């Protein structure tokens, strides 16, 4: 029986060190970590590796439920996957385990709360953006390509593929710049 820790952060600007330290302090023999969105299982290769090697009696440990997933359905699917392997899940904050029925019920409720929290975050973000737009503060994502350079290269007869290579973007981005209306 192994205790396997899983640490995850969503963005490259975040760090898994605090989670890893906590998981090691809890006695995890192995700790896998990754930087990937928790919105779905896609692209979470470390979690996939853990699931592939779990054996009966093994325990997957996460610091918080949202580190495992943001969707109640995804979390429940993961718990089901663990069940089929004879393994179980332990969440440290708040302490919940799927070893017994009570833990499963609490886990369902926590999963729904995590999903609801994500919805609230998205609503607040959308409201903040709308307010900023109304105040003239929000201008959207800053332009990362030199439109003048793309147009200049195009005017000299350089093709879209070569322009894309030169400025470091996709051909679609080149075409988008070339199709954009001229600012007055």
Residues designated as active site: 10
Q: Residue 49, Cβ neighbours under 10 Å: how many?
A: 15
First-to-last C-alpha distance (Å) of the chain: 69
Angle separating helix axes 101-134 and 72-85, nearest 10 degrees: 150
Which residues share a beta bridge with 35? Answer: 9
Residue at token pair 């009966």 = 56
What is the total residue count of the chain? 184
27 Rama sector, left if φ>0, alpha if ψ -120 to 50, beta otherwise: left
Residue in the block written with tokens 């192994």: 2
Distance (Å, whole) CA 29 – CA 3: 6
- Helices marked H in 11-155 — which ranges? 17-25, 45-53, 72-85, 101-134, 147-155
**Measuring CA to CA, which residue among 148, 144, 158 is closest to residue 180?**
148
């Amino acid at each position: 029986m192994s205790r396997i820790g899983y640490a995850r952060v969503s963005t490259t600007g975040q760090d898994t060190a605090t989670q890893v330290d906590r998981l090691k302090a809890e006695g995890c023999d192995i700790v896998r970590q990754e930087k990937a969105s928790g919105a779905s299982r896609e692209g979470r290769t470390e979690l996939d590796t853990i699931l592939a090697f779990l054996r009966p009696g093994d325990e997957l440990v996460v610091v918080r439920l949202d580190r495992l997933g943001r969707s109640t359905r995804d979390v429940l699917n993961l718990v089901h996957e663990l069940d089929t392997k004879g393994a179980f899940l332990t969440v440290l904050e708040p302490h919940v385990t799927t070893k017994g029925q009570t833990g499963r019920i609490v886990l369902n409720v926590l999963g729904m709360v995590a999903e609801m929290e994500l919805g609230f975050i998205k609503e607040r973000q959308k409201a903040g953006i709308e307010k900023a737009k109304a105040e003239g503060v929000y201008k959207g994502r800053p332009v990362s390509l030199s439109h003048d350079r793309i147009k200049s290269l195009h005017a000299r007869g350089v093709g879209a593929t070569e322009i894309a290579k030169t400025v470091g973007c996709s051909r679609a981005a080149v075409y988008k710049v070339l199709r954009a209306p001229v600012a007055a």
